[in-house]
Amino acid sequence: MHFWPFSRYFRAPQKATYLPYIICMPYYKNYLVGRANLIKLKSPTFYMDRTSVNPLSSHAKEIRRKILKMIHASKSAHIASALSTVELLVSLYFKIMRIDPKNPSMQGRDILIFSKGHGCSALYATLVQRGYENEKILQEFSTDGGKLWGHVTSGSMKGIEATAGSLGHGLPIGLGMALANKKRNVFVLMGDGECDEGSVWEAILFAGHARASNLIAIIDFNKIQSLGNTAEVLDIEPLAEKFRAAKWAAKEVDGHSIPHICAALQKLPFEEGKPSVLIAHTTKGKGISFMENSLAWHYTPPDDKQLEGALGELS
């Protein structure tokens, strides 16, 4: 009679023989820590969590929740600019980049420079989600006496590689870092509006010329800048053609599809001897229906009711 838990234990994997062995491993561990976990093993949600729900998209959802709460609490701007970058950051920090959150200054790590510094709430939330810092630090965002400025500032949080805020600085810095150590990849996440800056084009010309093939620019092309639509303010299209003309290899992708982003970045560089650019077509304010494609949400923070509605959409 007292053998029954063991029989349960051996039966459980048989019930789910379609699962690869590695995924079954938690059963064994769970058994060892007590009978309560055996009950958990039987619950259908346990199987679901491990199999059918894409964990990366659940990270994206959690990051959006954190962004909403940070911006709401600090009544700060740029929420829509942060929301359009979420899937790009998740793909990079959870799948593509060679990093170690426990050792943020690991030698030879891949680098991300978040050049559109105003969207920093997304970076802060991603770094917390990835385990660089405790969640508590997010309460320090844009508040009197806090640690986190409203534009990316190096030294304020583990995992931040460079200060940004004035636009057009990230790509030249990233280029220098790529040239200094060619054995690692340097990613620079930029906005589409940021591409108006002359310094961006200086760096594009030089990176192509210098064959900086470990430099990867990622454009969050959300089509809206500070005062209007990018196409109306300063049309940068055809953007991929411009990069290609400067000896870059370019790809375009749906910037909210994690599988597509990961697939596009699986093999780097895109072409030997050329820097790579991933033009990610995104939606400003992505994920919150009433914030999508609206200029106002470049500036406005959500009020209590809007926060509730937005969090509801993410549940």
Q: Using CB under 8 A, list all residues that contact other proteins.
A: 153-154, 161-163, 165-166, 168-169, 171-181, 198-199, 202-203, 205-206, 209-210
DSSP 8-state assignment for residue 301: P
- Minimum Å gap between C-beta 87 and other proteins is 26
Nearer to other proteins, 38 or 205 (CB): 205
The alpha helices in the chain, defined as continuous H runs, are 4-15, 21-32, 35-42, 44-50, 55-74, 79-83, 86-91, 120-130, 170-180, 198-209, 230-233, 239-245, 258-265, 304-313
Of 153 and 257, nearer to other proteins (C-beta) is 153
The residue among 86 and 162 lying less far from other proteins, judged by its C-beta, is: 162
Nearer residue to other proteins within complex by CB, 150 or 174:
174
Tokens representing residue 24 in the block: 């079954």
Closest distance of CB 163 from other proteins, Å: 5
The answer for residues whose C-beta is within 8 angstroms of residue 252's C-beta and 6 or more apart is: 240, 278, 279, 280, 281
C-beta of 131 vs 273, nearer to other proteins: 273
Judged by CB, which is closer to other proteins: 151, or 260?
Answer: 151
Minimum distance from residue 16 beta carbon to other proteins (Å): 48
Cα→Cα distances 80→127, 167, 226, Å: 19, 17, 11
Q: Shortest distance, CB of residue 228 to other proteins, whole angstroms?
A: 24
Question: What CA–CA distance (Å, rounded) separates 152 from 21?
Answer: 42
Shortest Cβ distance from residue 137 to other proteins (Å)?
20
Nearest to 220 by CA among 91, 45, 131, 311: 91
Q: Which element (helix H / strand E) includes 10?
A: helix 4-15
Find the shortest distance in angstroms from Cβ 83 to other proteins: 25
